[in-house]
Amino acid sequence: MNASGHERTLRIAAIAGDGIGPEIVGASLPVIAAAARLDRVRVEVTELDWGGERLLRTGAAMPEDATAVVREHDAILLGAVGHPQLTPDVSVWSLVLPLRKELDLYVNLRPIRALENVDSPVVDLAGTDFVVVRENTEGEYSGIGGRVHSGGAHEVATDVAVHSRRALTRIGRYAFGLARERGQRLTLVTKSNVSRHGYALWDEVIGELGAAEFPDVPFELAFVDAMATRMIERPRSLGVLLCSNLFGDILSDLGAVLQGGLGMAASANLCPGGGVPGVFEPVHGSAPDIAGKGIANPLATILSGALLLRENGCPLGAAALEEAISATVGRAEATTPDIGGTADTVTAANAVMDEFEAATP
Ligand code: NAI
Ligand code: MG
């Protein structure tokens, strides 16, 4: 332990990014750092000005040694990308996807837990607590494809979906392990009835893996279209959903509705055992429609911070953040307009800090 009473330093690289990114990250970081103190951990933040502004100014959203820079840290907190002067694909392919790929963050974890006092168009959500595990490196987001006959009547475009046994096995092992830990069923979400090659491989590899290594974990297959209905009709029947990159992206946005909207949905990008920093980020984007207004909900970012703390040996801080959020969401003066409140971003973030400070002796 050092003189300040802290046992360890947690180095966070903060990439605020575009749009509401700087507002939500700026408001959330002090709250996350305060929570880490419960685990006797001191947070040290490096602010990185990566994103759309930097791309417009210098031609690149990140420096060439970006991966080396972030590897000097324990974790990355990312706000959002999506600059109004850039097309969305440029924003995403210049920062979010390269980071995920270069650090080989093959797990995208998106918990979906319904909180009391948060309104949702879906009624009777009590007890809803599942998690989407999304394969994060390939599938429909492989980047392979092209266009020919540009602009002509015979123009053709392709995006090639890649599904490899190696990637399926490692994400499958993670998802089964998580289901075992949570004491829940694993549901594999595919579309093998139509996509007979790639998704058939998913069904085979995950089915075999379960039988060989996780016979104790209840397992089922579901088609993605039926799953969309079931998430709304019977969300309590779900435990761990294992999805491809595309299906996990879509279903977790749908899941955000069960949590009170995109302002409440958190995620983590991880390479378990890989010795690289994970990327922790809200599910939402840069929300250009509300950027600069000071009304963006910081709770998705703070919940992502809770995931960050839990993955980095700060379980007390993580739990404190989650409990404090559960306690603030019913109160209008402590929450932003998207979930029915009247507070601005900073007030909502500080309300979480006040809540857990009051709850901690
Ligand atoms: P979006 O998530 O930015 O916004 C969708 C809707 O949700 C908007 O009405 C927005 O105001 C609202 N919203 C989002 N976050 C909120 C928050 N914290 N508090 C209150 N309301 C919130 O998605 P959209 O509009 O499709 O994309 C905008 C840009 O973000 C695009 O450039 C897109 O490519 C990018 N994007 C980036 C992501 C990332 O950084 N990982 C993920 C998704 C989109
Ligand atoms: Mg998405």
pLDDT single digits (tens) 228-262: 999 999 999 999 999 999 999 999 999 999 999 99
* pLDDT given for residue 36 in this prediction: 97
Atom number, ligand 1, closest to the C-alpha of residue 284:
2
* pLDDT given for residue 121 in this prediction: 87
Whether the per-residue pLDDT at 352 is higher than 60: the answer is yes
Distance of CA 25 to the CA centre of its chain: 14
**Degrees to nearest 5, angle at CA 349 with 263 and 25:** 70
Q: Which amino acid is at 10?
A: L
Average pLDDT over residues 72-89: 95
Instruction: With beta carbons less than 8 A apart as the criterion, state whether 158 and 146 touch.
Output: yes
CB of 289 within 6 A of ligand 1: the answer is yes
Whether the per-residue pLDDT at 3 is higher than 60: the answer is no
pLDDT tens for 329-351 read 989 999 999 999 999 999 999 99
* pLDDT given for residue 6 in this prediction: 66
CB of 51 within 6 A of ligand 1: the answer is no
Whether the per-residue pLDDT at 92 is higher than 90: the answer is no
Instruction: With beta carbons less than 8 A apart as the criterion, state whether 273 and 107 touch.
Output: no
Average pLDDT over residues 38-62: 96
Where residue 2 falls among pLDDT bands split at 50, 70, 90? low
| Residue to substitute in 286, 299, 336 for testing ligand 1 pocket (most ligand atoms within 8 angstroms of CB) | 286
- Between CA 191 and CA 110 the distance in angstroms is 20
Q: What is the DSSP string of 291-334?
A: TTTT----HHHHHHHHHHHHHTT-HHHHHHHHHHHHHHTT-GGG
* Rg of the chain in Å (alpha carbons): 20
Where residue 59 falls among pLDDT bands split at 50, 70, 90? very high
Where residue 278 falls among pLDDT bands split at 50, 70, 90? very high
pLDDT tens for 129-180 read 999 999 999 999 888 999 999 999 999 999 999 999 999 999 999 999 999 9
* pLDDT given for residue 4 in this prediction: 55
CB of 108 within 6 A of ligand 1: the answer is no
- For ligand 1, atom 44, name the residue with the nearest CA: 285
Whether the per-residue pLDDT at 5 is higher than 70: the answer is no
Average pLDDT over residues 82-86: 94
Instruction: With beta carbons less than 8 A apart as the criterion, state whether 298 and 348 touch.
Output: yes
Q: What is the model's pTM? A: 0.94
CB of 14 within 6 A of ligand 1: the answer is no
For the chain, what is the mean pLDDT?
95
C-beta atoms surrounding 129 within 10 Å: 16
- For ligand 1, atom 43, name the residue with the nearest CA: 285
- Between CA 17 and CA 15 the distance in angstroms is 6
* pLDDT given for residue 7 in this prediction: 84
For residue 47, the cross-strand partners are 14
Ligand nearest to the CA of 339: 1
Parallel, antiparallel or unpaired: strands 266-270 and 107-113: antiparallel
Instruction: With beta carbons less than 8 A apart as the criterion, state whether 78 and 96 touch.
Output: yes
pLDDT tens for 302-319 read 999 999 999 999 999 999
End-to-end CA distance of the chain: give it in Å, rounded.
21
Whether the per-residue pLDDT at 361 is higher than 90: the answer is no
* pLDDT given for residue 97 in this prediction: 85
Distance of CA 33 to the CA centre of its chain: 19
Instruction: With beta carbons less than 8 A apart as the criterion, state whether 57 and 12 touch.
Output: no
Q: Is 306 helix (H, G, I), strand (E, B) or coil?
A: helix
Where residue 119 falls among pLDDT bands split at 50, 70, 90? confident
Tell me phi and psi for residue 330, to 5 degrees. Answer: -80, -10
Whether the per-residue pLDDT at 22 is higher than 70: the answer is yes
Report, as residue numbers or ranges, the catalytic residues. 141, 191, 225, 249, 253
| Residue to substitute in 76, 110, 262 for testing ligand 1 pocket (most ligand atoms within 8 angstroms of CB) | 262
293 CB-near residues (< 8 Å, 6+ apart): none
